Structure 1
């Protein structure tokens, strides 16, 4: 029994010894950990936030008719350039029966008033002529003649006013019936003309469409929309988490999806004071004026992204963010700099701005230092590393 126990114990010891030898042999076969290093470089670091939106005209003018009717002819198409005063459309007036009847009755009433004023004037003129003859002979006093003279002048003025009223009523009748009248000279209300110079962005009406003039109860029908395409702005929205970082006057870099490999410079002009809830988040409207568009045509309404540049450092000493370590107690940043073959010393550094990939280093290291890549993935060489 004792002999069996001794044999088993010896077997266990031999097995444990063999296992230890195998472990040590495998350990000796593994390559020792060799840390790669990386030197700092000069970088231009830009800190920015993004906003999505579209390109729209700074000022878009809607052309509306000054009289209601039916579009008889359209003289422009979207994409054309027009000058101020160019003819855009011709409107045919369809008179309202009630208004037309009222205008006819007004003409008849004013004609009657004119006839009455003329009869009264003839009567007063006859009285005036008799009294004038008597006054010249010295038969009546001056005061009496003055009263007759005043009555005569009033009757004459009433005739002139009645004629004006009749003419105005006839013009009003013509306007209701045809949309224009000879009394308006060169201003034909049936002709819709451009009020500003620019490109025609949209013509929402066609021949035969009814249009309504603008008034206190209706904004009117838009005949066309015009804009100066050399004055375009970015109009977008930014999340509430980012709005506190921006301010008016910051530079923008605009990228338009339909125009590849081109960036447009802009300046942030407007930040909405009130946010709007969209899809569970608060969004703030922003606007930025695009610069130097003389050589580039951007269509209104194109979607675009704006990079709002919050901070920028040109050609500064920088390292990759992944090389920075932080003290567990003080949370101060540091790096490990090579002082020999696989020998490193710790150096505290002062950091500047970061774009998430590179971070500016203000103090602590020089451009010639070799910095330890402490978190390199095994088997994956680091960019710009040196062994």
Structure 2
């Protein structure tokens, strides 16, 4: 029995030794890890965030009528260039029967007042002429003559005022009936003219449409929209997570979806002080003025666009891939490993600058000829036929 136990133990030892030797052989048969290296490059690094929006005119002017009526004729269409004072449309006034009747009654009342004032004036004139003759003969005192002259002047002034009132009543009647009257120029006019120079962006009405003048209870009907298309702005929104990183005066790079391979420069000049909730996310409105646009490029109002807001920029600086940077687990300070010999590396602390998420600026710590270890390289997958 003792001999059998001894044999079993020896066999077990031999088996364990064989397994250990086999494991060591397999371990040595594996390819050793060979770390690649990269050297710093000279690059321009731009840190930016993107906002979506559209291109719109800086100022849009809504042309509205100064009198209600029906569009009789339209002289422009969208896309036309107009100058200030050019005719846009003509409005035909459809008088309100009630207002027309009231205006006619006012004329009749004014005529009665004029006739009454005329009779009073002629009576005072007769009295004045008699008093003047008596005063010149010394029959009455100067005080009595002065009173007669005052009454005469007052009657004459009242007569003139009633004549003015009659003229006003007639003009008001003409305005209600036809939309215009003599002596008032453009203050009551059926011709709608451009108030600024620019391009006609939209004509939302057609001949025969009824239009309403602007008043305290109604904004009025827009007949045309004008804008200077040489002064365009980007209007978009940024998320609340990005709004703290931007400020007025930052440069923008505008890309328009409908215009390929072309960028437009702009300057951020407005950030909304209050955000708006859109689908559960707080968005802040921003605006940026486009710099002078090439005359050969026409940007249509309303085109969708993206704005790259440049937060920081470093031109022609020493840079490395951000993937080469490691961080100390305790201090969280950045460092890289620089090759000092064949597959031998030494840690070097670095100071970093602007990063765009792929490349990062290196301010100090390494030189342009240093070979930096690619520490997180991906090992190639083993082939299917290998053990």
Give your verdict on TM over 0.5. yes
Provide the C-alpha distance between the structure 2 equivalents of 1:134 and 1:225, rounded to a whole number of angstroms.
Answer: 73
For residue 183 of structure 1, report the CA deviation from its aligned partner. Answer: 2.3
For residue 7 of structure 1, report the CA deviation from its aligned partner. Answer: 6.6
For residue 8 of structure 1, report the CA deviation from its aligned partner. Answer: 6.0
- Contact persistence 2:66–2:188 (CA under 8 A): no
Q: Does 1:36 align with 2:15?
A: no
For residue 85 of structure 1, report the CA deviation from its aligned partner. Answer: 0.7
The aligned residue for residue 385 of structure 1 is none
The aligned residue for residue 265 of structure 1 is 265
The aligned residue for residue 97 of structure 1 is 97
The aligned residue for residue 283 of structure 1 is 283
The aligned residue for residue 215 of structure 1 is 215
* Structure 1 range deviating more: 106-115 or 273-282: 273-282
Within 5 Å, give how 1:235-384 maps onto structure 2: 235-295=235-295, 296-379=297-380
Residues 32-90 of structure 1 deviation map (CA, whole Å, 9 limit, x = unaligned): 21111110001111111121211111111111111111111111111111111111111
The aligned residue for residue 146 of structure 1 is 146
Provide the C-alpha distance between the structure 1 equivalents of 2:225 and 2:267, rounded to a whole number of angstroms.
Answer: 26
Q: TM-score, structure 2 length as denominator?
A: 0.92
Q: Does 1:159 align with 2:175?
A: no
- Contact persistence 1:271–1:287 (CA under 8 A): yes
Provide the C-alpha distance between the structure 2 equivalents of 1:352 and 1:231, rounded to a whole number of angstroms.
Answer: 37
- Contact persistence 1:270–1:288 (CA under 8 A): yes
Query: Match of 1:161, SS?
Result: helix
Query: Match of 1:183, SS?
Result: coil
- Contact persistence 1:230–1:294 (CA under 8 A): no
The aligned residue for residue 191 of structure 2 is 191
* Structure 1 range deviating more: 186-195 or 34-43: 186-195
Provide the C-alpha distance between the structure 1 equivalents of 2:188 and 2:110, rounded to a whole number of angstroms.
Answer: 25
The aligned residue for residue 123 of structure 1 is 123
* Count of aligned positions: 380
For residue 215 of structure 1, report the CA deviation from its aligned partner. Answer: 1.0
Provide the C-alpha distance between the structure 1 equivalents of 2:184 and 2:158, rounded to a whole number of angstroms.
Answer: 24
For residue 187 of structure 1, report the CA deviation from its aligned partner. Answer: 5.3
Provide the C-alpha distance between the structure 2 equivalents of 1:121 and 1:349, rounded to a whole number of angstroms.
Answer: 104
For residue 143 of structure 1, report the CA deviation from its aligned partner. Answer: 2.1
Query: Match of 2:166, SS?
Result: helix
Provide the C-alpha distance between the structure 2 equivalents of 1:341 and 1:246, rounded to a whole number of angstroms.
Answer: 46
Provide the C-alpha distance between the structure 1 equivalents of 2:52 and 2:226, rounded to a whole number of angstroms.
Answer: 25
For residue 111 of structure 1, report the CA deviation from its aligned partner. Answer: 0.7
The aligned residue for residue 384 of structure 1 is none
- Contact persistence 2:67–2:188 (CA under 8 A): no
Provide the C-alpha distance between the structure 2 equivalents of 1:350 and 1:141, rounded to a whole number of angstroms.
Answer: 111
Residues 115-142 of structure 1 deviation map (CA, whole Å, 9 limit, x = unaligned): 1112222222222222233333333332
Residues 101-122 of structure 1 deviation map (CA, whole Å, 9 limit, x = unaligned): 1000000000111111122222
Provide the C-alpha distance between the structure 2 equivalents of 1:13 and 1:352, rounded to a whole number of angstroms.
Answer: 61
For residue 313 of structure 1, report the CA deviation from its aligned partner. Answer: 1.1
* Structure 1 range deviating more: 358-367 or 125-134: 125-134
- Contact persistence 2:100–2:176 (CA under 8 A): yes
* Structure 2 stretches lacking a partner, 5+ long: 382-387
Provide the C-alpha distance between the structure 2 equivalents of 1:84 and 1:128, rounded to a whole number of angstroms.
Answer: 57
Q: Does 1:68 align with 2:68?
A: yes
Provide the C-alpha distance between the structure 1 equivalents of 2:207 and 2:285, rounded to a whole number of angstroms.
Answer: 38
Provide the C-alpha distance between the structure 2 equivalents of 1:7 and 1:195, rounded to a whole number of angstroms.
Answer: 114
Residues 235-283 of structure 1 deviation map (CA, whole Å, 9 limit, x = unaligned): 1111111111111111111111111111111111111111111111211
- Contact persistence 1:85–1:193 (CA under 8 A): yes
